[in-house]
Amino acid sequence: MTLAALIQAFTLTDAVALALLVAGWWGLGWLIEHPPARRPSVAILMGDMRREWMRTFVTRQPRIFDANVIDSLRQSTAFFASATMIAMGGGVALMGDTERLAGFVSDYTLQTSRRALEVKLLVVLLLVANALLKFIWANRLFGYCSILMASVPNDPEDPLAYPRAAQAAEVNITAARSFNRGLQSVYFALAGLAWLAGPLALAGAVVLTCAVMARREFASESRRVILGAGEGRRG
């Protein structure tokens, strides 16, 4: 597809809606990871909880519970990685049959060219591919974390115990950050599917997705509970 043909397939409204999708995906992700100091996100609060977990891990005997938690986290990343691989396969197959998709979309919106549909699906697939890479990396990082946890001495008085636990905590936080980025890409990939119904539908889906994610990170009931637990611990 030439650049001229690509430009002809889209309108200015399409370009604005696509820019809104990219800005929402990148901007909200940045805000979640770098929130205002007075209003930390759930992701930041959970990072503190992960550090607290590893400090508690040093003195917990036996450590079977901690091993089960790490295994559960790895299973979650593996599940989402498998799901995104299946989604990518379905998306690639759909790109090979855009004529049928065009017939379906035409029932709900204006006539859309095959080239335009291919590009819209490609944007969704790029987001899904990014999610897949994030989930795979998160799975591997949780594996690194489990090895670091296994290297923590059983004796809490050992000078290596708390430093090694702190290393495990930071790797655990990095893994969780990668996992969260993968989930964010999935959310915006779902929003990107609305582009098939037109640029206004895409813009509306992006705004709705941003609102839902922002509420969960900054105004949810779970955040209030987690924040209260942190304040109680400091008190």
% of the chain exceeding 90 in pLDDT: 73
User: Which residues are CB-neighbours of 115 under 8 A, at least 6 positions away?
Assistant: 1, 5, 6, 9
Q: What is the DSSP letter of 195?
A: G
Give the separation between CA 2 and CA 4, rounded to whole angstroms.
5
Q: Are 70 and 145 in contact (CB under 8 A)?
A: yes
Tens of pLDDT, residues 45-55: 999 999 999 99
Closest CA to 187 of 210, 203, 204: 210
Q: Give pLDDT, residue 235.
A: 43
Which of 15-19, 108-112, 172-176 holds the top average pLDDT?
172-176
Q: What is the DSSP letter of 113?
A: -
Q: Give pLDDT, residue 228.
A: 83
Q: Give pLDDT, residue 150.
A: 95
Q: Give pLDDT, residue 92.
A: 86
User: Which residues are CB-neighbours of 13 under 8 A, at least 6 positions away?
Assistant: 199, 200
Q: Can you read off the two tokens belonging to residue 22?
A: 């990219």
Tens of pLDDT, residues 161-217: 999 999 999 999 999 999 999 999 999 999 999 998 889 999 999 999 999 999 999
Q: Can you read off the two tokens belonging to residue 62?
A: 């036996």
Entry pTM: 0.90
Give the separation between CA 212 and CA 61, rounded to whole angstroms.
40
